[in-house]
Amino acid sequence: MPLITFVEPDGTRRDVSARPGESLMVAATRANVAGIIAECGGSAMCATCHCYLVEGTLPEAEALEAETIEFVAQNTRATSRLTCQITATAAMDGVVLEVAPR
């Protein structure tokens, strides 16, 4: 299982094992990562799973994710991602994501 590091709003680094096929949001909420709320349950509507990619590579965001980042998310950066829209794969081992402030 890929190990994803989430940097919580207070700077705490949390290493989370993600099951291939689940979203990174689901992995984060299972591990109680601070700041990942996931109010909409993973349907790309709330942006409360917003993180910044710090290290590693991820597949490009699809249109729905990009639109929600543009119109709903706050404090966006070029590296903004919605973790509910990212499906874990073995290739993501070592990815580091910083939880966005809200």
Which residue type is seen at 40?
C
CB-nearest residue to ligand FES: 84
Tokens read off for 38: 């996931």
Residue 17 DSSP symbol? E
Shortest distance (Å) from residue 1 CB to ligand FES:
21
86 binds ligand FES (CB under 6 A): no
Helix (H) or strand (E) segment spanning residue 99: strand 96-99
42 binds ligand FES (CB under 6 A): yes
Compute CA distances 35 → 83, 96, 98, whole Å: 12, 15, 10
Taking the least distance from each CB to ligand FES, the nearer of 7 and 26 is 26
Contact stretch for ligand FES (CB under 6 A) within 4-12, 43-51, 55-63, 87-95: 43-51
Taking the least distance from each CB to ligand FES, the nearer of 2 and 42 is 42
Helix (H) or strand (E) segment spanning residue 52: strand 50-55
Binding site for ligand FES (CB under 6 A): 25, 38-40, 42, 44-49, 68, 82, 84
